[in-house]
Amino acid sequence: MRFRRTLEEHDEHIELNLIPLIDIIMFLLIFFVSTTSFIEEPGVPVAKPSAASARLLDKNSIIFAVTPEGKVAYGGKEIGLGGVRPTVKRLCAKEALPVVIEADDSAFSGMVIRVIDEAKLGGAKDVSIATEQG
């Protein structure tokens, strides 16, 4: 009795199921978008002074910029000194957020003091001045 091998190929089509792969990609996309923290910059270029005692603050901060010309900006828009207090009141209504002032190295100290005062009158508990670590 002899056995023969037949080398017949079956006409089965191999199908690649892409739905689980798409599910994993969407899960990763949602994970990275939800865990990424976005830091809001003031939008005005400021040359910060350096300090040896500089430290990192929380990412949830209200950031104001003071330019060398004495202009005050928040979120890339000039709000002036009169806009500091309402902005702090509005943003600190739910929880007290720290206020960070990015003052240019050549900005007048009187203007920086007035911005600090307006932020405190607006309800800010913690007001800091941003510096470069050095």
> What's the CA gap between 28 and 133, in Å, rounded?
35
pLDDT of amino acid 128? 84
Q: Is 99 among the domain residues?
A: yes
Q: Is 26 among the domain residues?
A: no
Residue 81 per-residue DSSP state: G
pTM score, whole prediction: 0.58
Q: Is 34 among the domain residues?
A: no
Contact 87, 72 (CB under 8 A): no
Contact 74, 61 (CB under 8 A): no
pLDDT of amino acid 28? 92
Reading the chain (134 residues) residue by residue, the pLDDT tens digits are: 666 666 666 667 777 888 888 999 999 999 888 887 665 555 666 666 655 555 555 557 888 888 888 889 888 888 988 999 999 899 888 888 888 888 888 888 889 899 999 999 988 888 888 877 65
Structural domain of 98: 50-133
> What's the CA gap between 129 and 5, in Å, rounded?
84
What is the number of other CB atoms lying within 10 angstroms of the CB of residue 117? 14
pLDDT of amino acid 27? 92
Q: Is 67 among the domain residues?
A: yes
Q: Is 32 among the domain residues?
A: no
Question: CATH code at 72?
Answer: 3.30.420.270
User: What is the count of structural domains for the chain?
Assistant: 1
